[in-house]
Amino acid sequence: MPDAPGAVAARLTGTAAVRERPLSASLAEVALDDGRTVMVKRGDGTGAVRAEAAGLRWLAEAGAVHIPSVHGHDERWLVTDRVPTGRPSPETARRFGRDLAALHCAGAPAFGAPPPGGPRDAFIGLAPMRNADGDDWPGWYAEHRVLPYLRTAVDDGAIRPAETAVVEQVCERLPDLAGPAEPPARLHGDLWTGNVLWGEDGHAWIIDPAAHGGHRETDLAMLELFGCPHLEEVLDGYQEAAPLADGRPDRVGLHQLFPLLVHAVLFGRTYAEQALSVAARALRNC
């Protein structure tokens, strides 16, 4: 079968497959006859695979956080290293914080810049995400991250038209709420806890990026949004390596607004209510 994961892995790596183990409808683990084990992931042919492959390579170029190597891809399939996983520990979390700071400090050409070779029209999870350059974070974040998903959530019925004002007010006040200006950081872009693998080698690895140039507090807020093991140690390690501007706790909600609106578009009203609550709280904190 030409589209079986083993056949795909053999074609894209040039090495014969000896066995395969499906993990889901779109993911399989494949053992190659040179002793390597790889992950074979199927996309939908819309450019998501190309975006992910470019993102993984761009993040890996920083030499900071551990990233699975890309062994091959086409428009529908991606082959990467398998990461043997262990258990998170405070020491691993603190190291991850330091490594994440180094990744962010590797920088990006602009806010919204895609990885080299990656498409402008990319994805965050299953949602389309347009990478358009911007010069300042507040204006770019409002125009290209918050407002497009707010409009889609309204069109889909997850947010009522009368409820949009609180989010629009946050966007208008972002220059005052965003804290000190920072240069574009090299972001993972979808850094929820499920995209952090705690390797048995004592390092944290990150997978499934929506990589782009952005504000470094966005990745940290995403870790906080859905919970991360030993989050305080991650933040401590980060602060040791690249201290954050004062007032970061008050800005967490601003950076969570984008992923919450994405989830509202994908999954409906529960996340819409969380987004509206976060926006109202951000206004109260100003």
Residues 6+ apart with CB under 8 A from 251: 177, 178, 179, 217, 221
Q: Which of 99, 190, 208, 219 is catalytic?
A: 190
- DSSP calls for 153-183: HHHTTSS-GGGTHHHHHHHHHHHHHS-S--P
Q: How many CA atoms lie within 13 A of 79 on its CB side?
A: 24
- For 174, the token pair is 């972002």
Q: How far apart are CA 218 and CA 127, in angstroms?
A: 18
The torsion angles phi and psi of 83, rounded to 5 degrees, stand at -105, 110
Angle at 29 between CA 23 and CA 33, to 5 degrees: 155
Decide: helix, strand or coil at residue 281: helix
Give the type of residue at 163.
E
In the block, which residue shows the tokens 């690895």?
Answer: 205
Interacting residues of 270 by C-beta distance below 8 A, sequence separation 6+: none
Q: Which of 225, 199, 192, 189 shows the shortest CA–CA distance to 67? A: 199
Residue 190 annotated in active site: yes
Rounded Cα distance between 123 and 134, Å, is: 18
Q: What per-residue string of b and e applies to 240-268 under the rule 16 or more CB within 10 Å gives b?
A: ebbebeeebeebbbbbbbbbbbbbbbbee
- Residues annotated catalytic, as ranges: 190
